[in-house]
A and B are shown apart, each in its own frame.
Chain A
Amino acid sequence: DAKTTQPNSMESNEEEPVHLPCNHSTISGTDYIHWYRQLPSQGPEYVIHGLTSNVNNRMASLAIAEDRKSSTLILHRATLRDAAVYYCILRDLSGANNLFFGTGTRLTVIP
């Protein structure tokens, strides 16, 4: 799987939007962009994924650059419960289904 680059940490004020960036300059045409997050003392949790178009679900939005070399996870109103490590992972449709986690971005939400 191709590599992603994320900032080590970010801070946000509670109830403000958060934009978590991810660079994936070596992405291939068949790579899906997945986001997982890991809350303290819990297992990773699926957040959202997309291929080319922007995606929305109840948890977040995913904005994908036109050239697909970067993407941004958007939390519309950060809550204290959103404090977690967020992982951006590229997955193509070939091969096994395992996930390869990088170091992710640790999001701190300030009350």
Chain B
Amino acid sequence: DSGVTQTPKHLITATGQRVTLRCSPRSGDLSVYWYQQSLDQGLQFLIQYYNGEERAKGNILERFSAQQFPDLHSELNLSSLELGDSALYFCASSRGGSKGNTIYFGEGSWLTVV
């Protein structure tokens, strides 16, 4: 158990809908990351937050947004969902936001868009 908690574990929704994935980082970790893993793209970095502020942005679509709240939990919002958004979404956390901090991953949220 990494200490990173993600909900829901599984989610099935229809195209065009919007969903929110939630992440609680490890106790004391200030930085949160979101990754997407699909069969054809592998593990892709989406976005990083540090203490409530966006720190780095990767291959995140405009239809997706994220935020980190004052209690340090984070949410990833996915809207206007398409079939291709079906994937495993991982949240991860680290103590600090700079390189050299080990990153710990949650078990992921399976999203299926039908």
Contacts and interface: CB of A to CB of B under 8 A. Distances in A.
Interface of A: 32, 38, 41-46, 87, 91-103
B104 A46 contact: yes
Most buried by B among A41, A93, A97: A97
Interface range for B: 20 to 34
B86 to A, nearest CB: 16
Contacts of A95: 56, 99
Contacts of A94: 99
B95 to A, nearest CB: 10
A46 B102 contact: yes
A41 to B, nearest CB: 8
Contacts of A101: 42-43
Interface string B48-64: 10000001101000000
Given A43-B2, A43-B92, A44-B90, A99 B103 contact: yes
Interface in B30-58: 31, 33, 42-43, 45, 48, 55-56, 58
Contacts, number: 65
Determine the main DSSP class of A at the interface with B.
Answer: loop
A46 B26 CA distance: 15
A44 B33 CA distance: 13
Given A96-B55, A98-B45, A101-B43, A43 B105 contact: yes
B107 A97 contact: no
A102 B45 CA distance: 11
A97 B105 contact: no
Most buried by A among B2, B33, B56, B99: B99
A99 B105 CA distance: 11
Contacts of B108: 42-43
Given A43-B4, A96-B97, 16 more contacts: A42-B108, A43-B90, A43-B92, A43-B106, A44-B90, A44-B92, A46-B102, A46-B103, A87-B43, A95-B56, A97-B31, A97-B56, A98-B45, A98-B56, A99-B103, A102-B42
